[in-house]
Amino acid sequence: MEPTTETLIRAALAEDIGPGDVTATYFVPPDLQSRAAIVAREPGVMAGMEIAQRVFKLVDERLETRALKLDGEPFIKGDVVLEISGPTRGILTGERTALNFLQRLCGVAAQTRRYVQAVQPHPVQIWDTRKTTPGWRLLEKAAVKAGGGTNHRMGLYDHVMVKDNHIAANGSSAELQSAIDRVRAERPGTRIQLECDTLEQMERFLKLRGVDMLLMDNMGCEKLRQAVQMNAGKLWLEASGGITLETIRDVAATGVNAISVGALTHSSRALDLGLDFIA
């Protein structure tokens, strides 16, 4: 498991358990053994299964888990997604932390799946953004992939994104071209993307060397169609800005290559899952 994810899981457990689970200690016999299941209370898409299993193992190494749904697989109301067996105290102590991870990540995956399905049959990718929960980025972006989406840049370090504020600070064509050339020389293989607010700005950017992608920000469908025509297949085009489930199909029909949706991560609702003991 990725080290920062392990650290996050341990921090979540420490936050909940503190110096000890007083309820389980005083109300559950230490030698009691049980079987339990995490059950879907509504339909969704699985994400975070490995995280939930790790939670229980860290609480008590004697706990055994069996995944009935793998990341990316859909489930319906009433489906058992994970079974846990072993010391009852451990099951109860790990229950909330495991559910917190699963409910959040399944919510992201389910939300992503809805957006992916909404653009069919158009050949457009649904991208996430950096609008993630601090510390949860790897998990939430993995959940986006589980839902059928595509990860955009992971952070500021792996993809050049020259946005409007960068351009306002240092944005003449000559200055932009010089900076692009330096990236190409010093960081070969790094993708370079520029944000466009207008078609006039896009026209200027199409004349620059070394650009891989353009982000068409807050443009209506008519302008996006014009942008696709202007581009003529030269660069990868991404549409972004306030796109919803109600509008995304129209955006997909313009011919852009990708649509980024911050709501995949910043506004996904946690799904309803619960833990039930098995008699």
Nearest in space to 179 (alpha carbons), one of 162, 156, 196, 165: 162
Catalytic residue among 57, 114, 131, 204: 131
Catalytic residue among 163, 187, 234, 269: 163
Q: Which of 35, 96, 191, 249 does the annotation list as catalytic?
A: 96
**Helix-strand-coil split of the chain, %, nearest 5:** 45, 20, 35
* Dihedral over Cα of 100, 102, 103, 105: its sign: positive
In the set 95, 128, 195, 238, the catalytic residue is 195
**Is 177 within 8 Å of 208 (Cβ atoms)?**
yes
Reply yes or no on whether 60 is catalytic: no
Q: Verify whether residue 79 is a known catalytic residue.
A: no
Decide: residue 224, CB within 10 A, 0-12 exposed, 13-18 middle, 19+ buried.
buried
Contact 161, 130 (CB under 8 A): no
Active site residue 141: no
User: Catalytic site residue 96?
Assistant: yes
Active site residue 131: yes
In this structure, what token pair is assigned to residue 166?
């960068």
Which residues are known to be catalytic?
Answer: 96, 131, 163, 195, 217
